[in-house]
Structure 1
Amino acid sequence: MSRYTEIRSFALIAEKGSFAAAAQVEGVTPIILGRRLDALEKRLGVRLMHRSTRGLTLTDLGEQFLEQCKQLLHDFEMAEASISDQHNAMRGHLVVSAPASFGRQHVAPHVLEFKKRYPDLRLSFNFTDSVIDLVREGYDMGIRVGAVYDPNYVAVRLFPNQRVVCGTPDYFARYGVPLQPEELVQHNCLAFNQQGGQQHGWTFLRDGQMFSVRVQGDLDCNDGELLYDWVKQGWGIGWRSTWEIQAEIKRGELVTVLDDYAISDYDIQAVYQQQRYLPAKIRVFTDYLRQIYNQPGYWEQG
């Protein structure tokens, strides 16, 4: 009987609290697990568990040994996973979700080069502005713009981003520059709609506190690219991400206002489910995009 098998069985018995429950997970009989624990205790010369009709309890030495066993098992499994990943790393199927406009502009153009590097990996993409449950709908990962609060997901920042108010110089010359977020009610704000009305207010930060201003305008739409096009034509002002306006800012076609109130935690992030071992296909694609996005001048190219 291997030492690894004894240690793994001991940790499983401690976790489940009974031989019967651990045996069901292990796929053996409780008698076999009992023999493994006996062999481990005999070899160590100490008692690890008190066994009675009331159940199982760890001895002081058992609790100490359990923590060490957990670390050993973790290291062993990580070593196995590392070798397995290197052998099968970039095979299989990677399924990715991203916001529609961002996906078309900043994910799709880089897909074919990634495919050339890893020809055995099948790639699937869904570009949509709908909020997707990655796990339920079968996605390996998603690209998100904005904060991620779900503790079941890991969020890795690909590039810093803010949400800012912007418009053309001509618009602000005609209608004035808002100095406080509350002054936006006096402006034609072009925002996303939901069933014909403004979906949400625009969110700002003042003295460390977030707050929203309910905006209104004579044009609204559920298509972010169309809204942005209207802003660039001077029909009103928009609340846009810095990733999408850098080229126009550099050319002087757009200017930002209320920058002192902009929320800063609106980063571009790779998001995936919390999991014990991160598949190499997710890690490599995340690193690939992060390297591209952090190239000097990338976002100013438009």
Structure 2
Amino acid sequence: MDKLKQIEAFVDVVEHGSLARAALGQNITPVMLGRRIDALEKRLGVKLMHRSTRHLRLTEEGTVFLDHCKTLLSDLDNAEKIISEGRHKATGHLVVSAPAAYGRMHVAPHAPGFLAEHPDVKISFNLTDRVVDLVREGYDVSIRIGGAIDPSFVAIKLASNRRVVCATPDYLRRKGVPRTLDDLEKHNCLAFNLQGGQQRGWYFQHNGKPVTMRVEGDLDCNDGELLHRWASEGLGLAWRSTWEIQAQLAAGELITVLDDYALPDYNIMAVYPQQRHLPAKVRFFVEKLKTLYAQPGYWIRG
């Protein structure tokens, strides 16, 4: 028999003054309630109360045990209240990882507004292009852009993204508009490099199949924001994400080319470890970002 039910039966009977009244409050029979108290006394090896059809009287052991039982049940009620409220109130330290440039543009700027709504939360950001180990490194949530997700994690779609080739109108007037993937060899392509100066390919699709194009140019670096700046200055073509350049596209400051070869959209995601009870601080933060990104014109406002 459940120990907690035995203790609750004991306290109820004492507080109601009889088995009958306590049983009525619990919507069970007095016999069932009496059996729970009998089982409690047998388990403890002491007599807690003397019972008759009309009266009950606590023994000395019963009086001492009653005080402890009331404290136990009160503590349990408080613990359940705290946990239940925690599902609706964000508290604690929220540790967030995000890609460097994306985090600076579309995650960290929303922290003050989130904290204004949830003043009992503290946020720490680690903005890095490295894929972090959420569990080992102690992150609550990571923002990921595309890529495979470990099945032991939960991935929530926040928005869609696409990689496009873009340039300024001035550059395209001077150098011409590429119409096919082969035309890229005639252009100054601002490429991302790896260690040792090896340039990374640009990825497309052609006739429904993925294609990797090796590109060349007189400038390359390992910093996406610098590539973005060079493209904005008219120095060449760049392969960028729409989350980064949407405002410039809307303003006509950058123009996309080779759109027929662009890869399908992929997801910007919030990723966190699977857990039975997701902390409110994580749930509300993810919901906040998702709501902001869904606002009409958000990506144009930047």
Q: Which amino acid in structure 2 is aligned with residue 172 of structure 1? A: L
Q: Residue 278 of structure 1: CA displacement?
A: 2.3
The aligned counterpart of 1:235 is 235
Counterpart residue type for residue 236 of structure 2: G
1:179 maps to which residue? 179
Deviation at 1:289, TM superposition (A): 0.5
Q: Distance in 2 between matches of 1:121 and 1:140?
A: 13
Distance 1:82 1:156 in 2: 28
SS of residue matched to 2:144: strand
Work out which of the two has the higher radius of gyration on C-alpha atoms and give 1 or 2.
2
Number of the residue aligned with 1:101: 101
Partner of 1:56: none
Alpha-carbon separation, structure 2, partners of 1:182 and 1:136? 45
Structure 2 residue 193 is matched with structure 1 residue 170: no
Two-structure CA RMSD over aligned residues (Å): 2.4
Say whether 1:285 aligns with 2:285: yes
Distance 1:256 1:108, change over 3 A: same
| Deviations 1:195-240, CA, capped at 9 Å, x for gaps | 2424421111233322211112111112111110000101111110
d(CA) in 2 for partners of 1:219, 1:263? 24
Answer whether contact 1:85 1:280 (CA < 8 A) is retained. no
Q: TM-score, normalised by structure 1?
A: 0.69
Q: In 2, are the aligned partners of 1:146 and 1:265 still within 8 Å (CA)?
A: no
Decide whether the 8 Å contact of 2:188 with 2:237 is kept in 1.
yes
2:85 maps to which residue? 86
Q: Deviations over 1:112-150 (max 9, x none)?
A: 111111111121111112222222211111112223343
What amino acid sits opposite 1:120 in the alignment?
D
8 Å CA contact retained: 1:155, 1:270: yes
Name the residue aligned to 1:133.
133
Whole-angstrom distance in 2 between the partners of 1:251 and 1:298:
14
- Confirm or deny: 8 A CA contact 1:81 1:277 kept in the other structure: no
Q: Would the alpha carbon gap of residues 285 and 211 (structure 1) be closer, same or farther in structure 2, given more than 3 Å must change?
A: same
Q: Hey, what does 1:11 align to over in structure 2?
A: none
- 5+ residue gaps, structure 2: 6-78
Partner in structure 1 of residue 249 of structure 2? 249
Are residue 263 (structure 1) and residue 263 (structure 2) matched?
Answer: yes
Indicate conservation of the 8 Å contact 1:142/1:272, yes or no: yes
Q: CA separation in 1, counterparts of 2:163 and 2:211?
A: 14
Q: Which moved more, 1:171-180 or 1:147-156?
A: 147-156
Q: Which amino acid aligns with 1:301?
A: R
Q: Which moved more, 1:126-135 or 1:289-298?
A: 126-135
Q: Are 2:135 and 2:273, in contact at CA under 8 Å, matched by a contact in 1?
A: yes
User: Does structure 1 conserve the Cα–Cα contact (< 8 Å) formed by 2:149 and 2:155?
Assistant: no
Q: Which amino acid aligns with 2:203?
A: T
* AA matched with 1:228: H
Q: Deviations over 1:71-122 (max 9, x none)?
A: xxxxxxxxx9998253364122110011111111111211011111111112
Between the aligned partners of 1:178 and 1:4, the Cα distance in structure 2 is 75
Counterpart of 2:86, as a letter, is H
Q: Is the 8 A contact 1:191 1:198 kept in 2?
A: no
1:3 to 1:222, Cα distance in 2 relative to 1, 3 A: same
Query: Which residue in the other structure is 1:299 paired with?
Result: 299
User: In the aligned structure 2, how far is the partner of 1:106 from the partner of 1:182?
Assistant: 34
Report how far residue 296 of structure 1 moved.
0.9
Structure 1 gap segments, 5+ residues each: 6-79
Q: What's 1:110 paired with? A: 110
CA contact (8 A) 1:161 1:243 kept: yes
Amino acid at match of 1:263: L
Shift of 1:264: 2.2
- Distance apart, 1:301 and its partner CA: 1.6
Distance 2:175 2:294 in 1: 36
| Residue 221 of structure 2 is aligned to residue 226 of structure 1 | no
